[in-house]
Amino acid sequence: MRQVAILGIGQTTIDEHWDKSLREIGGEAALTALNDAGLERADALFVGNMLAPMIDGQNQLGTFFADWIGLRGAEAVKVEAACSSGGAAFRSGVMAVASGEVESALVVGVEKMTDKAGHDVTAALATAADADYEIEQGVSFVGINALVMRRYMHEYGWKHSDFAPFSINAHANALHNPYARLHHKITAEAFEKSAMVATPINLLDASPIGDGAAAAVLVPAEAVVSSNGRARIVVAGSASATDTIAVHSRRDPLFLTAAYESSKQAYAQAGIEPKDVDVFELHDAFSIMAALSLEASGFAERGKGVQLGLDGGISPGGRIPVCTRGGLKARGHPVGATGMYQIVEVAQQLRGECGPTQVEGARVGLAQNIGGSGATIVTHVLRTA
Amino acid sequence: MRQVAILGIGQTTIDEHWDKSLREIGGEAALTALNDAGLERADALFVGNMLAPMIDGQNQLGTFFADWIGLRGAEAVKVEAACSSGGAAFRSGVMAVASGEVESALVVGVEKMTDKAGHDVTAALATAADADYEIEQGVSFVGINALVMRRYMHEYGWKHSDFAPFSINAHANALHNPYARLHHKITAEAFEKSAMVATPINLLDASPIGDGAAAAVLVPAEAVVSSNGRARIVVAGSASATDTIAVHSRRDPLFLTAAYESSKQAYAQAGIEPKDVDVFELHDAFSIMAALSLEASGFAERGKGVQLGLDGGISPGGRIPVCTRGGLKARGHPVGATGMYQIVEVAQQLRGECGPTQVEGARVGLAQNIGGSGATIVTHVLRTA
């Protein structure tokens, strides 16, 4: 298979876009990416989305967006893997170009989820978990993550306040990202005093939902010398792995097997090790997930992910900068779009466009998108080449 | 890219399976296909489904089924393109194996849709159309197809009774398919007297919904000499194309552009012409769609698809046998599963396993799956080799 390059990127602000439709949000990101790539169209369109059938009454988003953005006739399909829909759609686009099936692919992650009442959204998000054996018992999606966090604290002896650095770092970085949902600093004191959602997860452990879309244009790397004068970014590793859908079925609920497997495969494809990674856009839907991702992806030992935060290792100048554009916690989490925001943000880092949160000399970036409570995990390695 | 072969197939009966869950139905088809292939597992799983988030409260079906059928850890994803979800998932599986990314892929189309009240299902099916510009105006999905059928009758001068052969043929063939939803013959008189649904579409123009799943195992063709003593079946052509999502946006609402484009590409890949096709499993969600599919795929001139039925050309001994296992009309239409039933049925024809409705000497088969009212169309050419 041939190597694939990212020729263009685009994103919308994440917000409660009550004045914009699903069409307009996805279309804005898609056309921005095509424009950034200097292309008028792409051969195929892959859309990542989780909630549109339930929230917007709209299925068949591949064709829906192809029609809207001027790609009528082109092959188009939607890929869904809960909150990892964006990463899964990106992987489909990578495979389509790598295989030679198409010469260009546009990938869009999109979600419009704030037009419904909160309980409708909570119910829709619960479809990421096991309907029969988790949700039917009355637990919500945040409730499942709360059980995991409590178990982690019990097992390794961490206090709730030890998780504060993840959220503080995310909010500090989002201040410099104009596309982010939240633009305010938080303190360790605010973190501890925040309203409880599902013990021990409080409001500042949890990421906010939002409306948004992010997109990228993929082409064969051999066709790109430089990307409009910027660094050429190639997809050096692409892998996806799964775990049980219900957390209670896992032998070890504190280890993200699918993160371990997909990152191992992606590192091998790229010929790198964790120490070679300059920036890591991870899936901090809840602060506990940041710790577990760092551990399973080879950046910390079991139970030590929290220590990395306490040591300052996750800031833009640290050993392994994470959430440099705000992460799910502060950039926001428009679920089916999140994986594509991660891809776009890693690309921005590799292009050197991140201002005060730029990781100096970033050449290798990791994007890891999680569906369910670690059930589907898609990991990509991007690098300049 | 390397050629891909179908090593195993599986299907469940289509029915109101109130005693079986979504898991059980999909799992049954998947395990039957693996067993038929003589394999214990596959490298990757692709699931086609449209309604589970809305009807069953379950998303992330790739991981959901990988977990259930013993493929824990394997890459798994769901593909959605309304009623063409099954065909789109099959195409994803074909690309994954063709590209060399995986050595085996299991594709499952599944739908569990009869546990909800009829109006809930009607609303869920409407997500295949344009939510803002069609459904919001009060038209249902069958209503959109009724407008197309009326226009066709007006334009070409056909009477409603001229469409009867499509439904009569489908019901006659389903009698010999143990997996079919309906097992009764119908007459031309019954066709005309049937209850009206949306003028001019009556009950016997329309396909019944149902619960069901169908699956296939894909491997590189070079790895297969014979498939357990049966004819080796290869995927000779695979293509997908789109049209506007709303029917009213089309310059010519009576021509399925996406069927024309995708069949043209698939024929070219296979090096065949329509006259080389021995059997055609088409997407007769409504009788009008059978006529339009025959025309756009090169088997009849514009406005003459109905004539092919009246001449007897669509029966198992005719010029272009269609719906040889009952089609959507009588085998049934479990929407996200339908495309995989078509694949399985063409494979059965090429294996010579269809008893009284076997097409003698069938060597080349066409499967064409439609999402929305012609918005997404996925066409595959299978042949013995």
Q: CB-based contact (8 Å) between B73 and chain A? A: yes
Q: What is the pLDDT of residues B211-238, one digit of tens each?
A: 999 999 999 999 887 666 788 999 999 9
* Residues 6 or more apart in contact with residue B368 via CB below 8 angstroms: B87, B259, B262, B263, B280, B281, B282, B283, B293, B297, B342, B377, B378, B379, B380
Is A64's Cβ below 8 Å from some Cβ in B?
Answer: yes
Could you tell me how far CA B345 lies from the centroid of its own chain?
10
Record the tokens describing residue B104, joined without a space. Answer: 């085996």
**In terms of CA atoms, which chain B residue is nearest residue A240?**
B75
Of the partner residues A50, A88, A101, the one whose CB lies closest to the CB of residue B95: A101
Query: Cβ–Cβ of A127/B57 closer than 8 Å?
Result: yes
pLDDT value of residue A226 = 67
Report the residue from A60, A81, A99 with minimal CB separation from B82.
A60
**How far apart are alpha carbons A275 and A266 in whole angstroms?**
14
Please tell me which of the candidates A72, A96, A240 has its beta carbon nearest to residue B242.
A72
Judging contacts by C-beta atoms under 8 Å, the chain B residues touching residue A379 are: none
Q: How far is CA B24 from CA B12, B19, B174, in A?
A: 10, 10, 24
- Report the length, in residues, of chain A: 385
| Record: contact A82-B60, CB cut-off 8 A | yes
Helix axes B287-296, B141-156, angle to 10 degrees: 60
Residue bearing tokens 């149902």: B210
Two tokens at A209?
Answer: 């939902």
How far CA B372 is from CA of A27, B123, B126, B134, B145, in Å, comes to 21, 14, 9, 12, 10
Q: Is B21 on the interface with A (CB under 8 A)?
A: yes
Helices (H), ranges, A157-228: 164-174, 188-193
Which of these is catalytic: B17, B171, B283, B333?
B333
Q: Do A371 and B63 touch (CB under 8 A)?
A: yes
Nearest CA in chain B to A98: B99
Asked about B333 being catalytic, the answer comes back as: yes
Rounded CA separation B339/A367 (Å): 33
* Chain center to CA of B184: 21
Q: For A369-378, write each residue's pLDDT tens digit.
A: 999 999 999 9
Residue B220 CB contacts under 8 Å (≥ 6 apart), including other chains: B2, B3, B4, B5, B97, B103
Active site residues of A: 83, 333
pLDDT of residue B117: 83
Closest CA to B11 of B34, B36, B35, B28: B28
User: Which among A43, A72, A77 is the top mutation candidate for probing chain B, defined by the most B β-carbons within 10 Å of its own β-carbon?
Assistant: A77
Inform me whether the C-beta atom of residue B70 falls under 8 Å from chain A C-beta atoms: no
| Paired strand residues for B279 | B365
Interface test with A, best of B2, B60, B263 (most A CBs within 10 A): B60
pLDDT of residue B226: 67
Residue B120 neighbours by CB under 8 Å, 6+ apart: B54, B55
Task: Say which residue the tokens 């064409």 belong to.
Answer: B368
Contact between B294 and B255 (Cβ < 8 Å): no
Distance CA B285, CA A4 (A): 39
Strand duo B4-11 + A376-384: pairing: unpaired
| pLDDT of res. A118 | 82
Q: The tokens of A155 are what?
A: 């097992």
DSSP A78-142: EEEBTBTHHHHHHHHHHHHHHTTS-S-EEEEEEE--SSS-HHHHHHHHGGGS-TTTTGGGT--HH
Reduce the DSSP state of residue B287 to 3 states and report it.
Answer: helix
pLDDT for position B228: 67
Give whole-number Cα distances, A98 to A47, A85, A238, B96, B219, in Å. Answer: 18, 20, 11, 10, 19
Note the pLDDT of residue B45: 98
pLDDT of residue B30: 98
The pLDDT tens digits of the residues spanning A273-302 come to 999 999 999 999 999 999 999 999 999 999
B369: left (phi over 0), alpha (psi -120 to 50) or beta: beta
Under 8 Å between Cβ of B374 and B292: yes
Q: Check CB contact of A127 with chain B, cutoff 8 Å.
A: yes
Rounded CA-CA distance B100/A22 in Å is 35
Beta bridge partners of B109: B48, B214
**Contact: A62, B81; criterion CB under 8 Å:** yes
Please count the other Cβ atoms lying within 10 Å of the Cβ belonging to residue B136: 12
pLDDT at position B229 is 75
pLDDT in tens, B247-268: 999 999 999 999 999 999 999 9
- The encoded tokens of residue A307 equal 């220590």
> What's the mean pLDDT when you consider all of chain B?
96
Q: Is the dihedral of CA A214, A220, A226, A232 positive or negative?
A: positive
Q: What is the DSSP string of A324-374?
A: TT-IIIII---HHHHHHHHHHHHHHHHHT--GGGPPTT--EEEEEEEETTT
Contact B76 A376 (CB under 8 A): yes
Residue B132 at interface with chain A, using a CB cutoff of 8 Å:
yes
Contacts of B322 (CB under 8 A, 6+ apart): B166, B169, B279, B280, B281, B282, B284, B290, B294, B314
pLDDT single digits (tens) B158-195: 999 999 999 999 999 999 999 999 999 999 999 999 99
Distances (CA, A) of A107 to A337, A338, B287: 10, 12, 35
Which of B60, B128, B243 lies nearest to residue A375, judging by beta carbons? B60
Euclidean distance between CA atoms A366 and A276, whole angstroms: 10
Contact B95 A99 (CB under 8 A): yes
CB neighbourhood size of B241 (10 A): 26
Task: At B203, list the tokens.
Answer: 């009950």
| CA closest to B122 among chain A residues | A57
A245/B81 touch (CB, cutoff 8 Å), yes or no: no
Residue B152 confidence (pLDDT) above 70: yes
Distance CA B34, CA B6 (A): 11
Render each residue's pLDDT in chain A as its tens digit; 385 residues. Answer: 899 999 999 999 999 999 999 999 999 999 999 999 999 999 999 999 999 999 999 999 999 999 999 999 999 999 999 999 999 999 999 999 999 999 999 999 999 999 988 889 999 999 999 999 999 999 989 999 999 999 999 999 999 999 999 999 999 999 999 999 999 999 999 999 999 999 999 999 999 999 999 999 999 999 887 666 788 999 999 999 999 999 999 999 999 999 999 999 999 999 999 999 999 999 999 999 999 999 999 999 999 999 999 999 999 999 999 999 999 999 999 999 999 999 999 999 999 999 999 999 999 999 999 999 999 999 999 999 9
Distance CA A287, CA A331 (A): 14
Strands A364-371 and B75-80: unpaired
Answer whether B240 sits within 8 Å of A77, measured CB to CB: yes
Nearest CA distance, B100 vs chain A (angstrom): 7
Nearest CA to B235 out of B44, B112, B385, B82 is that of B385
What totals of helices (H) and strands (E) does chain A contain, helices first?
12, 11
- CB proximity B244 to A under 8 Å: yes
Do the Cβ atoms of A67 and B245 come within 8 Å? yes
Region B98-124 average pLDDT: 93
Positive or negative, the Cα torsion across B120, B122, B127, B130?
negative
- Cα B50 from Cα B371, distance rounded (Å): 10
Alpha-helix residue ranges (DSSP H) falling in A13-101: 22-37, 52-55, 61-68, 85-98
Q: Which of A60, A101, A239 sits opposite B375 (nearest CB)?
A: A60
DSSP state of B221: G
- For the record, the structure tokens of A297 come out as 């992806």
DSSP A274: G
Residue B253 burial (C-beta neighbours within 10 Å; 0-12, 13-18, 19+): buried
Contact between A184 and A171 under an 8 Å Cβ cutoff? The reply is: yes
CB atoms within 10 A of CB B160: 17
**Helix, coil or strand: residue A161:** helix
CB A74 within 8 A of CB A44: yes
